[in-house]
Structure 1
Amino acid sequence: MTELGERLIVIPARGGSKRLPRKNVLPLAGKPLICWTIEAALATGLAARIMVTSDDDEILSIARRYAHKGIISHKRPEELATDHASTADALQDALDAEQQAGHPAKTLILLQPTSPLRTAEDILAAVREYEENGSSDTVVSVSQVDHPTAWVGTIAENGQLQGLDLSGMRSQDYQTEYHLNGAVYVASVRTLRQRGNLFTDDLRASVMPRERSMDIDEAVDFRICESLLCRD
């Protein structure tokens, strides 16, 4: 049986955002964006500690509303809140804080707050994939691409579109492809500590439907997510 402190769910949320300012606290279908991820993490029922790590007092204040449910609010150092600081740096800091608090984690579950349509079942599916296959390979959530990557190219300085497959094949004639959707990552703490990132040489995939794979980066993404949530 997994002990409570062996799994750590981390929800990293910076206060700054260039493309969509203050996105993590913007009201989405009636509650701040970050609440959707906090509540999905709680709904899993996993034996896990759940931490929101942020540089921003408003975000941490929102997280503290869930303190009675076990949510941990961690104020990260200012140097880990810049555009140059990586998610891996924030995760290392979160693990250090847990270690100092007497809760050395073995498994790390990363949930980006910009994936509000991700459900508790999506998280559980990724954790099952990780644990049922030996907890050695990192599991990443993926979704099927809208169009074959053979139809993706670059534009040269002279305006020419380059690198496309112009054979005329139909989309269904290509092999099914998937891309990282950024919603769920499950990895061993050892991997992060040794490699400085979450990725093992061999990754395992946990497939999510496209309709739950929205990643909010710009205002248009936010509006699409809100329309989907309000529709439901």
Structure 2
Amino acid sequence: MGDTGEILVVIPARGGSKRLPRKNVLPLAGKPLICWTIEAALEAKLKARIMVTSDDEEILAIAQQYQSQGVIAYKRPDELATDTASTADVLIDAVKVEQAAGHGPKTLVLLQPTSPLRNAEDILAALEIYRDGGCEDTVVTVCEVDHPTAWVGSVTSDSLLIGVSATSKRSHDYEKEYRLNGAVYIVNIAALLGDEKIFSSQTLASKMPRSRSLDVDDHLDYQICGALLADRHKQESLDA
């Protein structure tokens, strides 16, 4: 089993969003969307430094509410708040800020705020796979796809469906397939700084249930997540 070394959790949250404006601060089941990710990171009890990196003052103000619990609100440079700035660039900037402050993280945990259903258990499960793999290869969370990719194709301008398998196999007759769900990424920092990319040559997968894999990209996602979180809160209240 590998040694993760000092861990840095990074939660990148821009203020701008085209499909769902201001989504990171929208109220979701009683609190701003980004709070669900900050609190999941805290509940994992990683003894890590947790940084919210953003260009937006409102997002940073929300992060500062968790300052007593060790959360860092960092205002990133303007050039890293554009549509063209890559996630790797944002993460490298966060690492360099930490290094300049005298810290030497070896492992980075990326938690995107648009995955509010992901919980502490999912974070810890991904870290366990990372440790078991020797702490060298990136670990990403995945979930099973809704339907076989053999059923996925495209439609031409004259409505012709192409690229879809014409077999009569039923969905459960296909081998299980998985997709990235964007909830958790575990990255070796030395590799990140050296290669300037998140994925390693051999990326490992940590499976999550589809019920916690929804990514908030548009208003429908937002409504579904709100309903699921409200139901979860109700169930927890009944179990208490």
Quickly name the TM-score band, shorter chain normalised.
over 0.9
Alignment of 1:101-116 (within 5 A): 101-116=101-116
Q: Secondary structure at the match of 1:115?
A: coil
Shift of 1:2: 6.8
- Asked if 1:157 is matched to 2:157, the reply is yes
Deviations 1:7-31 (A, max 9, x none): 1000000000000000000000000
Q: Normalising to structure 1: TM-score of the pair?
A: 0.97
In 2: Cα distance, 1:136 partner to 1:97 partner: 22
Q: Give the unaligned 5+ runs of structure 2.
A: 233-240
Matches within 5 A, 1:1-232: 6-232=6-232
Indicate conservation of the 8 Å contact 1:2/1:47, yes or no. no
Q: Is the 8 A contact 1:191 1:199 kept in 2?
A: no
- Aligned 8 A contact 1:138 1:202 in 2: yes
Question: How many percent identity over aligned positions?
Answer: 61
Q: Quote the offset at 1:195 in angstroms.
A: 1.5
What SS class does the counterpart of residue 21 from structure 2 fall into?
coil
Amino acid at match of 1:93: D
Write the distance in 2 (CA, Å) between the matches of 1:183 and 1:48.
Answer: 18
Contact 2:3 2:135 (C-alpha < 8 Å) held by counterparts: no
| TM-score of the two chains, using structure 2 as the length reference | 0.94
Letter in 1 for 2:161: L
In structure 1, list runs of 5 or more residues that go unmatched.
none
CA distance in 2, matches of 1:135, 1:96: 20
Kept in 1, the 8 Å contact 2:12–2:53? The answer is yes
User: RMSD value over aligned CA atoms?
Assistant: 1.3
Distance 1:208 1:117, change over 3 A: same
SS in structure 2 at match of 1:199? coil
> 1:135-182: per-residue Cα shift (whole Å, max 9, x none)?
111100000000000000011222211000011111111110000000
Letter in 2 for 1:200: S
* Further displaced range: 113-122 or 155-164: 155-164
Q: Which amino acid aligns with 2:130?
A: Y
What's the secondary structure of 2:205's corresponding residue? strand
